[in-house]
């Protein structure tokens, strides 16, 4: 995900000038701060937020310990990173889930991603052992209930609906149902409007009053930039929300909303939506987002993704295979599937520190991976397990079967041998594969 790539690039440029020098003068730091401020404003960061941010960073960066240090540039970057993190941090970033059932009410404008997020959150909570019930309280659009049922099915969560009955009544009945049936989280999907209006707020206030949710989560579209901040402010004023979920962070968003919402409303961003699929949800970790903005990569998210995609047992088995040098094309296929689960090789590379700038412009060819897959699928099981038996006539058959050329088959076989060589060396590395993929 090219999260805030523009802002990232700008900041990287400013900081690379700083780190190239040894000592920094006050003037140089001030000039850099001026540039950072412009970069933030261009990324749609609220101007008061940008101003306070620069004041805080400057006060620290102009301190004696920075000015006297041998690597002042790096110290300034560290200060910026810490301040960015602080800007988005809150003590109540986690969901309040200790009630039985805990009630989460979603709200927001039309199209923000509420219904989608109900499903994502349901699936996410289910993974952590919860039993969520989704409740359809958007009664105005005929397709809304059906849409919730579709995502509910994907999330493997029950959906409670009472058609176009008054949404307050439906919500209350859903909570009764949850108590009887042992659901421990109730996620209420509400109706949005194109713009904030009294009718919408009254309806939401009513639901709030009658069901007393522990969480009122405002779903906002990150692509709306400064508007996202204004919208958050006004929902917060009327509903005293407990947090924000920023959706569409996978899009070409400039970052302003993520950086401003907490500072302006005092309410934390708790989750982000990073795609249209049910699994495209991430808890919002301010330090990781700050690292990503600064192009330092997001190693923690990467490790978590790897852990999700590869079970510990699987990782152990892999490690053994490498040790015994019995890694086959069958395993290769499994690994390609794992990579896909992790969101594609290019997304992964972007999260590795330094990779973003070094690999700029380089795109790993996902098509090549698809070609490799086709070739392997055209092999017999015996061939996959013992690639050394793949001689000329077999190569031709495989090429024909997969719609590729003999050269392409040769190339893959050679690559495979080379990777095995590399893996042999890797196995001498103490951490081994489990260090990379295990818990
Ligand atoms: N790219 C992307 N699209 C999203 C995300 N969340 C929701 N959407 C899309 O945004 C549109 C509106 O979502 P919906 O859940 O119906 O919004 P609602 O009106 O607030 O309930 C749908 O087409 C979703 O697929 C996200 O995180 N990333
Ligand atoms: Mg909806």
The domain that contains 377 carries what CATH number? 1.10.260.30
DSSP element (H, E) containing 285: none
Do 285 and 150 share a structural domain?
Answer: yes
Q: Has residue 353 been placed in a domain?
A: no
In total, how many domains does the chain have?
Answer: 3
How remote is the CA of residue 68 from the centroid of ligand 2, in Å? 56
Q: Has residue 354 been placed in a domain?
A: no
Residue 180 reports pLDDT greater than 50: yes
Binned at pLDDT 50, 70 and 90, residue 86 comes out as: very high
How remote is the CA of residue 323 from the centroid of ligand 1, in Å? 45
Q: Has residue 300 been placed in a domain?
A: no
Residue 426 reports pLDDT greater than 60: no
Do 235 and 124 share a structural domain?
Answer: yes
Per-residue pLDDT, 346:
62
Residues whose CB is less than 8 angstroms from the CB of residue 385 and which lie 6 or more positions away in sequence, other chains included: 328, 329, 330
> In the chain, count of helices (H) and strands (E)?
22, 8
What domain range is 19 assigned to?
A: 5-88
CATH number at residue 172: 3.40.50.300
**Three-state secondary-structure class, residue 57:** helix
Q: Show which of 88, 120, 153 is a domain's final residue.
A: 88
Do 117 and 255 share a structural domain?
Answer: yes
Q: Show which of 58, 88, 118 is a domain's final residue.
A: 88
Do 230 and 135 share a structural domain?
Answer: yes
Is the torsion defined by CA of 70, 55, 52, 268 positive or negative?
A: positive
Q: Has residue 388 been placed in a domain?
A: yes
Q: Has residue 77 been placed in a domain?
A: yes
Do 84 and 106 share a structural domain?
Answer: no
User: What confidence tens digit (pLDDT) does each residue in 397-422 have?
Assistant: 999 999 999 999 998 898 888 777 76
Per-residue pLDDT, 433:
43
Torsion of CA 307, 373, 371, 424, to 10 degrees: 70
Do 194 and 153 share a structural domain?
Answer: yes
Name which of 226, 187, 298 is nearest 43 in CA terms.
Answer: 226
Per-residue pLDDT, 302:
56
Q: Which residue has the CA at smallest separation from atom 25 of ligand 1?
A: 276
Rounded Cα–Cα distance for residues 106 and 187 (Å): 7
Do 197 and 172 share a structural domain?
Answer: yes
Q: Show which of 88, 116, 133 is a domain's final residue.
A: 88
How remote is the CA of residue 393 from the centroid of ligand 1, in Å? 51
Q: Has residue 352 been placed in a domain?
A: no
Rounded Cα–Cα distance for residues 105 and 205 (Å): 11
Name which of 384, 375, 394, 290 is nearest 331 in CA terms.
Answer: 384
The answer to whether 248 and 273 have CB atoms below 8 angstroms apart is yes
Supply 109's token pair.
Answer: 């404008």
392 dihedral zone (left: phi>0; alpha: psi -120 to 50; beta): alpha
The pick from 113, 196, 347 for probing ligand 1's pocket by mutation, whose C-beta has the most ligand atoms within 8 angstroms, reads: 113
110 dihedral zone (left: phi>0; alpha: psi -120 to 50; beta): beta
User: What confidence tens digit (pLDDT) does each residue in 379-390 have?
Assistant: 999 999 888 899
CA 299 → CA 16, 287, 303, 350, 366, distances in Å? 21, 11, 6, 10, 22
Residue 311 reports pLDDT greater than 80: no
Q: Has residue 316 been placed in a domain?
A: yes
Do 329 and 278 share a structural domain?
Answer: no
How remote is the CA of residue 381 from the centroid of ligand 1, in Å? 42
Residues, the chain: 439
**Three-state secondary-structure class, residue 56:** helix
Average pLDDT (308-325) is 66
Residues whose CB is less than 8 angstroms from the CB of residue 91 and which lie 6 or more positions away in sequence, other chains included: none
283 dihedral zone (left: phi>0; alpha: psi -120 to 50; beta): beta
User: What confidence tens digit (pLDDT) does each residue in 195-253 have?
Assistant: 888 988 999 999 999 999 999 999 999 988 889 999 999 999 999 999 999 999 988 77
Q: Has residue 96 been placed in a domain?
A: no
The angle subtended at Cα 237 by Cα 236 and Cα 242, nearest 5°, is: 30
Burial 312-331 (b: 16+ CB within 10 A, else e): eebbeebbebbeeeebbbeb
Do 330 and 261 share a structural domain?
Answer: no
How remote is the CA of residue 30 from the centroid of ligand 1, in Å? 41
DSSP state of 63: S
Residues in contact with ligand 1 by the CB-under-6-Å rule are: 108, 110-116, 192, 219, 247-248, 250-251, 273-276, 280
User: What confidence tens digit (pLDDT) does each residue in 117-157 have?
Assistant: 999 999 999 999 999 999 999 998 879 999 999 999 999 99
Do 185 and 66 share a structural domain?
Answer: no
Do 432 and 396 share a structural domain?
Answer: yes
Q: Which residue has the CA at smallest separation from atom 1 of ligand 1?
A: 275
Do 232 and 181 share a structural domain?
Answer: yes
pTM value surpassing 0.75? no
Report the atom number in ligand 1 closest to the C-alpha of 274: 27
Is the torsion defined by CA of 423, 427, 431, 434 positive or negative?
A: positive
User: Phi then psi for 275, rounded to 5 degrees?
Assistant: 160, 180
Strand partners, 104: 187, 215
The answer to whether 112 and 235 have CB atoms below 8 angstroms apart is no
CATH number at residue 71: 1.20.120.140
């Amino acid at each position: 995900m090219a999260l805030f790539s523009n802002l990232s690039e700008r900041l990287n440029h400013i900081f690379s000038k700083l780190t190239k020098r040894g000592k920094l003068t006050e003037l140089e730091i001030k000039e850099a701060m001026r540039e950072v401020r412009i970069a933030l404003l261009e990324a749609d960061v609220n101007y008061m937020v940008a101003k306070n941010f620069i004041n805080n960073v400057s006060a620290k960066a102009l301190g004696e310990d920075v000015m006297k240090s041998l690597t002042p540039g790096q110290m300034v970057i560290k200060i910026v990173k810490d301040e960015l993190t602080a800007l988005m941090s809150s003590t109540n970033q986690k969901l309040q889930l200790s009630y039985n059932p805990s009630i989460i009410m979603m709200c927001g404008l039309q199209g923000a991603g509420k219904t989608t997020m109900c499903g994502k959150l349901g699936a996410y909570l289910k993974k952590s052992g919860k039993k969520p019930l989704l409740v359809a309280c958007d009664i105005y659009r005929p397709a809304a209930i059906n849409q919730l049922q579709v995502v509910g099915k994907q999330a493997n969560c029950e959906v409670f609906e009472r058609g176009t009955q008054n949404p307050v009544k439906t919500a209350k009945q859903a909570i009764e149902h949850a108590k009887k049936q042992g659901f421990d989280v109730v996620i209420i999907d509400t109706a949005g409007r194109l713009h904030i209006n009294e009718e919408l707020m009254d309806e939401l206030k009513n639901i709030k009053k009658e069901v007393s949710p522990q969480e009122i989560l405002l779903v906002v579209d990150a692509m709306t930039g400064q508007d996202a901040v204004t919208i958050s402010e006004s929902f917060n004023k009327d509903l005293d929300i407990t947090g924000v979920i920023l959706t569409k962070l996978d899009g070409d968003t400039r970052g302003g909303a993520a950086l401003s919402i907490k500072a302006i409303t005092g309410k934390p961003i708790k989750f982000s939506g990073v795609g249209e699929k049910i699994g495209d949800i991430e808890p919002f970790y301010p330090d990781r987002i700050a690292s990503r903005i600064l192009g330092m990569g997001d190693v923690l998210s990467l490790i978590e993704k790897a852990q999700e995609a590869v079970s510990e047992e699987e990782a152990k088995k892999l490690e053994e295979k490498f040790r015994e040098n019995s890694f086959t094309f069958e395993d290769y296929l499994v690994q390609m599937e794992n990579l896909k689960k992790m969101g594609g090789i290019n997304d992964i590379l972007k999260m590795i520190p330094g990779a973003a700038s070094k690999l700029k412009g380089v795109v790993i060819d996902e098509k090549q991976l698809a070609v490799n897959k086709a070739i392997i699928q055209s092999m017999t099981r015996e061939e996959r397990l013992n690639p050394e038996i793949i001689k000329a006539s077999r190569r031709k058959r495989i090429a024909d079967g997969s719609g590729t050329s003999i050269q392409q088959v040769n190339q893959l076989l050679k690559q495979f041998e080379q990777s095995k060589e590399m893996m042999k060396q890797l196995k001498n590395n103490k951490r081994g594969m489990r260090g990379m993929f295990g818990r």
